[in-house]
Amino acid sequence: MTTGSVTVLKPGLETTVQELPGRIGYLEQGFPISGPFDSWSFRQANILVGNPRDTAALECQFLGPGLRFDRDLSVAVTGADMGPKLDGAPVPMWQTLRVRAGQTLELGPALTGARAYIAVSGGLDTPVVLGSRAVFHMARVGGQALVKDEVLPVGSPYASRGEILAIPEASRPRFSVDRRMEVEALAGPNDSWLDPASVEMFFSADWLVQAKSNRTGMRLTGPEFAFADRAINKKSDHGQDPSNIIDHGYPLGAVNLAGQTPIILVNDAPSTGGFINPFTVASAAFWKLAQARPGEVLRFRRIDREGAARLRAALDRVTSEGVAIRV
Amino acid sequence: MLHDTLRFYPGGDRAVEVELGDGMVFTLNFTVHRLVAALREARIAAIEDLIPELASFQITYDPDRISYEDLIREVAAIYARIGADVSGALPSRLITMPVLYFDDQTSDCIADYTKAHPDKVADPDLLCRINGLEDRAALVRRHSGTEYWVAALGFWPGLCSLLSLNPNARITAPKYNPPRTWTPKGAIGIGGALCCIYPDRTPGGYQLIGRTPAPIFDGAQRLPAFRDSLALLRAGDRVRFRPVGAEECAWIDAEVAAGRYVHDIVEYQVFSVDRYLDWEKAQKAGVRA
């Protein structure tokens, strides 16, 4: 049930409503999963306002929005530091904020990281499309990026003890301070299409994040790949370029190789296509991609499925209810 | 063409690519869909998404509910049980899409690309040359002279990969290199041995031959054909293209804009694979004779 609303005073840069687990079950018709790019920050924002951690909230990219709350609410801002201000006065991130009807929250450009999250008590109650409120704004699935004067419905608040909560610094995601990030990744599905030396090279080289990066993909600049024989001598059905393969499904987080340009396929990425995916970023490391800025350098650390499972367990612990402390 | 056994390629900690064979042909794709359907019937709760493609399919799963090893063991067991038979019958809708061939929007798009790439031969002329067709009229006759099998959907919501069911109506083409930055909504393209319909204005790489005014994607679900989904087509549907003139195309555009357009969808047909394969063999023999 909708009980209140948020009015958009300033849309920010492609600010969208996101929800977990995203749009499940429609990849076969070409609909991406969508959902929050940095699920760590997203879930902690929800925990701070007393919501189940997967509740619909806003994802802000590089430049945050201005919002007016039309009733008393709890709000929390996490993720990239966009210098949030309530009625013009700076307010802390990673902490429950009590907001009165009529107050305005304004976020600016990201100072560290790239994506911030704004959760409100009760969650955003936008329409469910194909099973999810997650927005794929480029195809207008589940809605679009926020526009000025738009009014977002807010759901009934969940029962809460009305405490002011905070995420201790040690439990927050750590963003790059030296413009470098280490990202855990696994070889496959198509690593056998590369020369073995190029597989090793991928895990040892510096990869620069290009400005042409968004919620569909992150383009990287780095050294050239050499291909294995199977990529060069293959049936014509696969296509002409060594990086071409018969159209196949694209895993979320795959490092897709189009010619010589690696593109990491993220939440709104194409579901299928005709290029190989030699590597895949571990699911619990996606949040790092969300917070990497153009011009920053990624290094990929090779892990196996057991390592990925340990990362998932660790991420689950820091995004569980008990992580927040009373202030 | 068909591998002796399934090949499993893990994609990170939540996905696996299952490859059945190596080629873009109906029989292989049909086997992919049969296995995917059997996997759905098995109702493995940890499976979140399945993407059937031309020669492979992708499973997205929850690794905290099923291990990779158990998952691929289950898939291999199901494949061992159902085998790779290309046989049987299945419900298959027949959807007729009106096409204005060589329309202004795709012509403008081609001209726009040619400005930056002056060596590019205009798409319809390139297709005629590569496929031994004497002129554009012959290209239209060949393209609209067959039913197409919806082999897969992906890349963008509703975007379809269509395989020609008549072996004598195949048209092949290289893809744009580099790709186009934009393609008109509803454009019909050919790349490799596949035909596609662009659901929206998106980048693309297929050679363009025309435009359908009938949408295959409707984000607002205004038209009756989109009651159940935002995308019109499903794998296993069949598509036929009907050439229309500029006047009829404009009328359909207006009907769509008014939210009145009713797609031409035949819902009552069953597709017999055995009879299709007999017919396909006869078609090939007919050409040789």
- What mean pLDDT comes out for the span A43-52? 97
Residue carrying the six token digits 């159209």: A247
Domain containing residue B16? 2-85
**Is residue B271 within 8 Å of residue B235, measured between CB atoms?**
no
Which of chain B's residues have a Cβ under 8 Å away from the Cβ of A247?
53-54, 152, 154, 161, 194
Surface of B (165-194) touching A: CB under 8 A? 174-175, 177, 192-194
pLDDT tens, residue by residue, A147-157: 999 999 999 98
Query: Which helix or strand (DSSP H or E) is residue A56 part of?
Result: none
Which of chain B's residues have a Cβ under 8 Å away from the Cβ of A239?
175, 192
Query: Which helix or strand (DSSP H or E) is residue A312 part of?
Result: helix A305-318
Task: Return the residue of A nearest to B57 by Cα.
Answer: A249
Task: Return the residue of A nearest to B64 by Cα.
Answer: A309
- Domain endpoint, select from B52, B85, B118: B85
**Is residue B8 within 8 Å of residue B16, measured between CB atoms?**
yes
- Distance between CA atoms of residues A168 and A323, nearest Å: 8
Distance from CA of A241 to the nearest CA of B (A): 10
- Distance between CA atoms of residues B207 and B210, nearest Å: 10
Distance from CA of A250 to the nearest CA of B (A): 8
Are the beta carbons of A29 and B158 separated by less than 8 Å? yes
In percent, the amount of chain A with pLDDT more than 90 equals 92
- Distance between CA atoms of residues B108 and B97, nearest Å: 22
Are the beta carbons of A188 and B12 separated by less than 8 Å? yes
Distance from CA of B138 to the nearest CA of A (A): 25
Q: Given a cut of 90, is residue A177 above it in pLDDT?
A: no
* Nearest residue to A224 via CA among A261, A196, A263: A261
Task: Tell whether B98 and B81 lie within a shared domain.
Answer: no
Task: Tell whether B217 and B260 lie within a shared domain.
Answer: yes
What's the token pair of residue B109?
Answer: 């798009």
Residue carrying the six token digits 């006065």: A89
Task: Tell whether B227 and B151 lie within a shared domain.
Answer: yes
Which of chain B's residues have a Cβ under 8 Å away from the Cβ of A139?
156-157, 200, 217, 219
- Given a cut of 50, the residues of chain B with pLDDT beneath it are none
- Distance between CA atoms of residues A105 and A10, nearest Å: 10
What's the token pair of residue A117?
Answer: 């999250």
Handedness of CA A264, A276, B53, B129 (dihedral sign): positive
Q: Find the CATH number of the domain harbouring B77.
A: 3.30.1360.40
Are the beta carbons of A281 and B12 separated by less than 8 Å? yes
Q: Given a cut of 60, is residue A1 above it in pLDDT?
A: no
**Is residue B153 within 8 Å of residue B234, measured between CB atoms?**
yes
- Domain endpoint, select from B85, B111, B137: B85
| B63: nearest CB among A25, A29, A309 | A309
Which of chain B's residues have a Cβ under 8 Å away from the Cβ of A25?
48-49
Are the beta carbons of B54 and A139 separated by less than 8 Å? no
Instruction: Give A110's DSSP letter.
Output: -
Q: Is A25 on the interface with B (CB under 8 A)?
A: yes
Q: Residue B170's pLDDT is what?
A: 93
Q: Residue A236's pLDDT is what?
A: 86
Cβ neighbours around B180 below 10 Å, total: 20
- Cα dihedral angle (A44, A146, B182, A247), rounded to 10 degrees? 30
Q: Find the CATH number of the domain harbouring B266.
A: 2.40.100.10
Which of chain B's residues have a Cβ under 8 Å away from the Cβ of A252?
12, 14-15, 60
Task: Tell whether B76 and B150 lie within a shared domain.
Answer: no
- What mean pLDDT comes out for the span A45-67? 98
Surface of A (103-162) touching B: CB under 8 A? 129-130, 136, 139-141
Range A101-104, long-range pairs (CB < 8 A, 24+ positions): A101/A69, A101/A70, A101/A71, A101/A72, A102/A68, A102/A69, A102/A70, A103/A68, A103/A69, A104/A9, A104/A66, A104/A67, A104/A68, A104/A69
User: Residue A130: what residue type?
Assistant: L
Task: Tell whether B230 and B283 lie within a shared domain.
Answer: yes
Q: Is B74 on the interface with A (CB under 8 A)?
A: no
Sheet-wide strand order for B15-21: B2-11, B15-21, B56-61, B47-52
What's the token pair of residue A243?
Answer: 């990086």
In chain A, what are the domain boundaries? 2-169, 180-317
**Is residue B157 within 8 Å of residue B199, measured between CB atoms?**
yes
**Is residue A36 within 8 Å of residue A146, measured between CB atoms?**
no
Determine the residue among B1, B2, B8, B13 to mutate to test chain A binding: the one whose Cβ has the most chain A Cβ atoms within 10 Å. Answer: B13
Read out DSSP for A130-176? TTB---BGGGTBS--S--TT-EEEEEPPPP-----EE--GGGSPPPP
Are the beta carbons of A237 and B22 separated by less than 8 Å? yes
The matching CATH number, chosen from 2.40.100.10, 3.30.420.40, 1.10.3720.10, 2.60.40.10, for A180-317 is 2.40.100.10
| A248: nearest CB among B53, B158, B159 | B53
Determine the residue among A212, A233, A237 to mutate to test chain B binding: the one whose Cβ has the most chain B Cβ atoms within 10 Å. Answer: A237
Q: Given a cut of 60, is residue A184 above it in pLDDT?
A: yes
- Estimate to the nearest angstrom the gap between the alpha carbon of B222 and the chain centroid: 23
Cβ neighbours around A67 below 10 Å, total: 26
Q: Given a cut of 80, is residue A3 above it in pLDDT?
A: no
* Nearest residue to B143 via CA among B109, B189, B112: B189
Task: Return the residue of A nearest to B24 by Cα.
Answer: A237
- Estimate to the nearest angstrom the gap between the alpha carbon of B263 and the chain centroid: 18
Task: Tell whether B165 and B278 lie within a shared domain.
Answer: yes
Surface of A (46-105) touching B: CB under 8 A? none
Task: Return the residue of B nearest to A26 by Cα.
Answer: B49
Distance from CA of B72 to the nearest CA of A (A): 14
pLDDT tens, residue by residue, A192-245: 999 999 999 999 999 999 998 999 999 999 999 999 999 999 988 888 899 999
pLDDT-derived band at A2, boundaries 50, 70, 90? low
Task: Tell whether B30 and B140 lie within a shared domain.
Answer: no
Task: Tell whether B138 and B281 lie within a shared domain.
Answer: yes
Task: Tell whether B282 and B236 lie within a shared domain.
Answer: yes
Mean pLDDT of chain A: 96
Task: Tell whether B142 and B55 lie within a shared domain.
Answer: no
State the greatest distance between any 2 C-alpha atoms of chain B, in Å, as a whole number.
59
pLDDT-derived band at A176, boundaries 50, 70, 90? confident
- Domain endpoint, select from B26, B51, B85: B85
Q: Is B201 on the interface with A (CB under 8 A)?
A: no
Q: Given a cut of 80, is residue A181 above it in pLDDT?
A: yes
Are the beta carbons of B49 and A139 separated by less than 8 Å? no
User: Residue B272: what residue type?
Assistant: S
Determine the residue among A26, A235, A241, A271 to mutate to test chain B binding: the one whose Cβ has the most chain B Cβ atoms within 10 Å. Answer: A271
Number of domains in chain B: 2
Q: Is residue B51 classed as helix, strand or coil in its secondary structure? A: strand
Task: Return the residue of A nearest to B32 by Cα.
Answer: A248
Q: Is A257 on the interface with B (CB under 8 A)?
A: no
Size of interface A-B (CB pairs under 8 A): 166
pLDDT tens, residue by residue, A233-284: 998 888 889 999 999 999 999 999 988 999 999 999 999 999 999 999 999 9
Are the beta carbons of B154 and A30 separated by less than 8 Å? yes
